[in-house]
Amino acid sequence: MTEPKPPAPKAPSWKPRTRAAQAMGTLPTHDEPVTGAVVPPVHMATTYLRDPDNQYRSGYVYGRPDNATVRQAEAVLAGLEGAEQAALFGSGMAAATAVVLALGAGAHVVAPREMYWAFRHWLLDAAPRLGIKTDCVDMTDPDALRAAIRPGETKLVWVETPSNPLWSITDIAAIAAIAHEAGAMLAVDSTVATPVFAQPLKLGADIVMHSATKYLYGHSDVIAGALACARSDELWSRILAVRSQHGAILGPFEAWLLLRGMRTLDVRVRTQAESAALLAVRLGRHPHVASVLYPGLPAHPGAALAARQMTGFGGMLSIRVTGGEAAAIGAAARVELWKRATSLGGAESLIEHRASIEGANSPCPPDLLRLSVGLEDPEDLYNDLDRALRAGNA
């Protein structure tokens, strides 16, 4: 069904951030030739004309494997990640599972103990029924990875950095070297870092993954996922085949919304990271906060590595509340401005008692509250949390 893509038109070498700001994608400019619109169109068609001589010279055949608006958004993301290609999916989970499904039965995967809980659960619970086994290790310890690798059998090493919900930092270059030496691929969930603060492919990763639901969209209004590859090799072709066969491609309108979201990605995440850093410092002095987990704080175990491998520390942090689980749940119940909800990366700040959602195998302590810092005034965010923490100790 899938025809080879035609070569992209030659574009001037604008920087990825410039291209994202103008949603340029595959074209030198997205300015629409018929109307001169400065916003790209949405291509809704599910099927495309075949040429009279039976060819598909447009490069488009059918909407399940491919779509022009999806390609446009993929090209912007590929630019931001320094990738050869990107592929959009209907969710982050669809993107992550497509990588593993593309490995096939008999493959062995090494994943971190600390990672997005639902994907860990799928790896440990569902994937074995498909003949794919996973071992989870402390990925911040390269020796732990070395010990878990099964020579000839390990096909994929999965990394999430910074990782949920302790924001541990994994050394991508070191892990890439170990994975490659064993003949395995390295995939990095870079949802929290965003392409603004980290570019895993440049550090040796083969695939980078995003829950685009989060910062790439930035407005908590679309579920989507993305992969981007260093090389469009055989594994990448199998991933695209999984996407097509499982019907996991993102819809055209959602892809258009992603183009819109990525236009403001840079400015949003820098502001969120600035506010997160301010909150981390102030909450670190709070009498009812036992500790703050944020890779931008010098006391964080991953601080030095984060400073080396990232250009910013991101908008996510966690606090451990004095008084334990009940105090943490109580504080989350009393906030007025922070939204008590799961997810992250939106314009509104979210607070979550993470142990309530993570279930078995999670390293999340019961007194931990996860904070996704939005775009509100950080003073308001601090005051709201301060009130909520103090009220429990009045």
Site for ligand PLP in 116-135 (CB under 6 A): 116, 119
Distance CA 198, CA 191 (A): 10
Q: Which of 2, 29, 91, 232 is the binder for ligand PLP (CB under 6 A)?
A: 91
Site for ligand PLP in 198-217 (CB under 6 A): 211, 213
What's the closest the beta carbon of residue 274 comes to ligand PLP, in angstroms? 21
Site for ligand PLP in 142-181 (CB under 6 A): 160, 164
Using Cβ positions, the residue closest to ligand PLP within the complex turns out to be 92
What's the closest the beta carbon of residue 191 comes to ligand PLP, in angstroms? 4
Q: Which of 349, 358, 354 is nearest to 385 (CA)?
A: 349
Q: Which of 191, 199, 275, 318 is the binder for ligand PLP (CB under 6 A)?
A: 191
Q: Does residue 189 interact with ligand PLP by CB under 6 A?
A: yes
| 113 included as an active-site residue | no
| 64 included as an active-site residue | yes
Helix/strand/coil for 255: helix
| 206 included as an active-site residue | no
Q: Does residue 72 interact with ligand PLP by CB under 6 A?
A: no
Joined tokens for residue 89: 């999916």
Nearest to ligand PLP of 179, 227 (CB atom): 227
Q: Does residue 220 interact with ligand PLP by CB under 6 A?
A: no
End-to-end CA separation in angstroms for the chain: 66
Distance CA 315, CA 218 (A): 12
Distance CA 373, CA 271 (A): 9
| 217 included as an active-site residue | no
DSSP secondary structure string, 150-180?
-TTTEEEEEEESSBTTTTB---HHHHHHHHH
Answer for the pair 114, 163: CB distance below 8 angstroms, yes or no: yes
Site for ligand PLP in 222-241 (CB under 6 A): 223, 225
- Of 214, 243, 268, 320, the catalytic one is 214
- Helical H segments across the chain, by residue range: 16-21, 68-81, 92-103, 117-121, 142-148, 172-181, 194-197, 234-246, 252-263, 265-284, 303-309, 324-334, 355-358, 378-391
- Of 17, 48, 62, 64, the catalytic one is 64
- Of 66, 189, 206, 266, the catalytic one is 189
CA within 13 Å, CB half, 255: 29
Q: Which residues contribute to the site for ligand PLP (CB under 6 A)?
A: 91-93, 116, 119, 160, 164, 189, 191-192, 211, 213, 223, 225, 343
